[in-house]
C-alpha cells in the first residue's frame, strides 16, 4: 500500500524511531551514524519507498547535483557523441545533466544561462572560449564553476578541456601544401562569435604562409557546419573564374556535403578537386572517396569535462590541463598535385 502522498524524511525517521537529523545523516554521511541506526533507517526507507526531495535538499544544502551544458546545437554528431560521454560520466559521478542549446546564436547564450541559473545547477559546461560578458559575469556572480570545452586555451583564468584549433588547422594546411597544392580554399564555419573558427582560419593561413602560399579571402567560405554548408562552399568556389585545387573543410559534415555536390556536378574527387575534413566522425571512413581529416578526441572531451567540472564543484585539487592531441588521418580524398 503506497501512502497517499510522497513520504518525507520525517516519515522515515518516525518509522525508524530516530530523529530527523539522524535519518538525514544516515543518508548523507553514513559514517557518522551507528550501524544499528543506519540499518533501521535503511529499512524504513525501503519500506516506504522513500526518495529524497531534490528541491528540499538543494534548498538546504545549496547543491543541486546537476550540471548544465550549453551547446551550439545538439544534432551535430560530433556534439551528440561528446554529450553522450558527458552525460554517462556525470551519471557515474552522481550528477545529472541539464542540457540546452543556442542554435549557433551566441547572443542567446546569456538568456539560456540565466534560465539555467534560475533553475539551479552546480556548474556549467560551455563550448569554446568566446562568450559574452554577461555569461562570465553571471558565472562569477553566482559563483558557478565552469569549464570551457573543445578549444583549449592557455589562459589560466578559466579551466579548459580541448585541443588547439590553430594547431590542428596548421597541420592540415601544411599537409595540403606538402601535397603540392597552391590554390587552396577553406570552408571555415561562421566566424562571428566563434573562436574555434577564427583559430582555424589563422592556423590555416599561418601554415600556408610558411609554405609561401596565400589564403585568398575570396576562398574563405563561411558556411554552417552541415552537409548543405559543404555543398554551398563547392558552388561558391566553382563560381569564380579561378578555381582552387583543394577545399579544406572545418567539419567532416561540410566535407561530405562537398563531396556530394562534386558528384552531382560531375567533378571528380580528388582528381579535379581535393577535399579534406575535420573531426574524423565515423562517417569519414565510409564515404567515397574516404575522407582525409583530423581526428579529434570527441569522447574524451566529454569524459574529461565531466570529471573536471565535478572536481571543481567538490573543491578537489585541479591538475593543470594540457591541450589534447589531434591526429591527421590521411585517406583518399586528398590527392597530390
Partner DNA sequence: TTGAAAGCGCTAACAA
Partner DNA sequence: TTGTTAGCGCTTTCAA
Q: Is 112 in the site for a second copy (CB under 8 A)?
A: yes
Decide which of DNA, a second copy, none touches 182; Cβ closer than 5 to 8 Å per partner kind. none
Q: Which is nearer to DNA, 58 or 81 (CB)?
A: 58
Query: Angle CA(107)–CA(200)–CA(124) in degrees, nearest 5?
Result: 45
**By the 8 A CB rule, do 237 and 219 touch?**
yes
Residue recorded with cell 560520466 = 89
Helix (H) or strand (E) run with residue 59 in it: helix 54-61
Q: Closest distance between DNA and the C-beta of residue 136, in Å?
A: 22
Q: Which of 3, 10, 103, 115 touches DNA (CB under 7 A)? A: 10
Give the separation between CA 103 and CA 131, rounded to whole angstroms.
14
Residue recorded with cell 535503511 = 42
For a second copy, what does the binding mask look like between residues 272 and 311, x meaning CB under 8 A?
A: ----------xx--xxx-----------------------
Provide the residue count of the chain: 337
Q: Is 210 in the site for DNA (CB under 7 A)?
A: no
Residues 58-117 that bind DNA (CB under 7 A): 59-61
Q: Closest distance between a second copy and the C-beta of residue 113, in Å?
A: 10
Using only C-alpha atoms, what is the Rg of the chain? 25
Decide which of a second copy, DNA, none touches 103; Cβ closer than 5 to 8 Å per partner kind. a second copy
Q: Which of 99, 202, 213, 329 touches a second copy (CB under 8 A)? A: 99
Q: Is 84 in the site for a second copy (CB under 8 A)?
A: yes
**Phi, psi for 302 (deg, rounded to 5):** -65, -45
Give the separation between CA 160 and CA 154, rounded to whole angstroms.
8
Residues 1-40 that bind a second copy (CB under 8 A): 2, 6
Peptide bond into 207 cis (omega under 30): no
Three cell numbers at 190?
561562421
Give the separation between CA 186 and CA 317, rounded to whole angstroms.
41
Decide: helix, strand or coil at residue 101.
Answer: strand
Q: Is 64 in the site for a second copy (CB under 8 A)?
A: yes
Give the separation between CA 54 and CA 153, rounded to whole angstroms.
35
Q: Is 52 in the site for a second copy (CB under 8 A)?
A: yes
Q: Closest distance between a second copy and the C-beta of residue 261, in Å?
A: 10
Q: Is 119 in the site for a second copy (CB under 8 A)?
A: yes
Give the separation between CA 36 and CA 49, rounded to whole angstroms.
20
Q: Is 65 in the site for a second copy (CB under 8 A)?
A: yes
Q: Which is nearer to a second copy, 287 or 334 (CB)?
A: 287
Q: Which is nearer to DNA, 53 or 178 (CB)?
A: 53
Q: Is 9 in the site for DNA (CB under 7 A)?
A: yes
Concatenating the DSSP letter of every residue in 224-269 gives -SSHHHHHHHHHHHHHSSS--SEEEESSHHHHHHHHHHHHHHT--T
Which chain residues interact with a second copy by CB under 8 A?
Answer: 2, 6, 49, 51-56, 58-59, 64-66, 73-77, 79-81, 83-84, 87-88, 91, 96-101, 103, 112, 114-120, 141-142, 226-227, 256-257, 260, 263, 282-283, 286-288
Which chain residues interact with DNA by CB under 7 A?
Answer: 5-6, 8-10, 18-22, 24-25, 27-28, 32-34, 36-37, 50, 52-53, 56-57, 59-61
Amino acid at each position: 500500500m503506497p501512502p497517499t502522498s510522497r513520504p518525507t524524511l520525517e516519515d522515515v525517521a518516525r518509522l525508524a524511531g530516530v530523529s530527523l537529523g539522524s535519518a538525514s545523516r544516515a543518508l548523507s554521511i553514513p559514517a557518522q551514524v551507528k550501524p544499528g541506526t543506519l540499518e533501521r533507517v535503511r529499512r524504513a526507507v525501503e519500506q516506504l519507498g522513500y526518495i529524497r526531495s531534490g528541491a528540499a535538499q538543494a534548498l538546504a544544502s545549496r547543491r543541486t547535483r546537476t550540471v548544465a551544458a550549453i551547446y551550439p546545437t545538439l544534432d551535430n554528431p560530433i556534439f551528440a557523441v561528446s554529450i553522450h560521454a558527458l552525460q554517462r560520466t556525470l551519471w557515474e559521478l552522481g550528477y545529472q545533466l541539464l542540457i540546452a542549446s543556442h542554435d549557433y546564436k551566441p547572443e542567446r547564450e546569456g538568456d539560456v544561462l540565466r534560465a539555467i541559473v534560475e533553475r539551479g545547477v552546480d556548474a556549467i559546461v560551455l563550448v569554446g572560449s568566446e562568450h559574452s560578458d554577461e555569461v562570465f559575469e553571471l558565472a562569477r556572480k553566482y559563483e558557478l564553476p565552469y569549464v570551457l570545452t573543445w578549444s583549449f586555451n592557455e589562459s589560466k583564468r578559466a579551466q579548459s578541456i580541448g585541443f588547439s584549433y590553430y594547431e590542428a588547422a596548421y597541420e592540415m594546411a601544411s599537409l595540403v601544401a606538402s601535397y603540392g597544392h597552391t590554390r587552396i580554399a577553406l570552408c571555415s564555419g561562421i566566424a562571428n562569435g566563434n573562436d574555434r573558427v577564427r583559430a582555424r582560419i589563422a592556423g590555416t593561413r599561418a601554415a600556408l604562409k610558411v609554405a609561401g602560399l596565400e589564403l585568398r579571402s575570396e576562398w574563405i567560405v563561411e558556411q554552417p557546419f552541415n552537409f548543405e554548408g559543404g555543398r554551398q562552399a563547392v558552388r561558391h568556389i566553382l563560381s569564380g573564374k579561378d578555381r582552387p585545387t583543394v577545399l579544406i573543410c572545418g567539419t567532416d559534415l561540410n566535407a561530405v556535403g562537398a563531396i556530394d555536390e562534386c558528384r552531382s556536378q560531375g567533378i571528380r574527387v580528388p582528381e579535379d578537386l581535393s577535399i579534406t575534413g575535420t573531426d574524423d566522425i565515423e562517417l569519414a571512413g565510409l564515404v567515397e572517396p574516404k575522407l582525409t581529416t583530423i581526428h579529434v578526441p570527441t569522447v574524451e572531451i566529454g569524459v574529461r569535462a565531466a570529471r573536471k567540472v565535478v572536481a571543481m564543484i567538490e573543491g578537489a585539487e585541479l591538475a593543470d590541463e594540457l591541450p589534447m592531441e589531434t591526429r591527421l588521418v590521411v585517406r583518399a580524398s586528398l590527392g597530390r598535385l
